[in-house]
Amino acid sequence: MTHSVASPTKRLPLYLAAFIGALSVAGVLFVAESMAADSSKPVREAAVSKEQAEIEKIVREYILREPEILLEALTILEERQAASADLEQQRLIAENADALYHDPNSFVAGNPDGDVTIVEFFDYQCGYCKRSVQRVMNVLEEDGNVRLVLKEFPILGETSVFASRAAIAAIPQGKYMDLHVAMLKSKGELTEGRVLRMAEEVGIDVERLKKDMKDARVSETIEANYDMARLIGVEGTPAFIIGTTFAPGAIDKEEMTRLIEEARASAS
Segments of the chain with pLDDT less than 70: 4-47, 81-86
Give the C-alpha separation, 182 to 198, whole Å.
Answer: 7
pLDDT score of 85: 62
Rounded Cα gap, residues 210 and 173, in angstroms = 12
Tell me what pLDDT residue 256 has. Answer: 97
pLDDT reported for residue 27: 46
Alpha carbon distance, N-terminus to C-terminus of the chain = 31
CATH no. of 97-267? 3.40.30.10
Q: One-letter amino acid identity for 151?
A: K
CA distance 39 to 37: 6
Residue 24: its pLDDT value, please?
45
Return the pLDDT at 210: 98
Q: What pLDDT, on a 0 to 100 scale, did the predictor assign at position 30?
A: 44
Beta bridge partners of 89: none
Q: How buried is 71 (Cβ within 10 angstroms: 0-12 exposed, 13-18 middle, 19+ buried)?
A: exposed
Distance CA 22, CA 10 (A): 20
User: pLDDT for 236-255, tens place per residue?
Assistant: 999 999 999 999 999 999 99
Q: What is the pLDDT of residue 224?
A: 96
pLDDT at 43: 60
Q: Give me the residue spans of the domains in the chain.
A: 3-95, 97-267
Three-state DSSP string of 190-250: CCHHHHHHHHHHCCCCHHHHHHHCCCHHHHHHHHHHHHHHHHHCCCEECEEEECCEEEECC
Nearest to 181 by CA among 203, 165, 202: 202
Which pLDDT does position 168 carry in this prediction? Answer: 98
Predicted confidence (pLDDT) per residue in 69-114, tens digit: 778 778 877 777 666 666 787 888 989 999 999 999 999 999 999 9
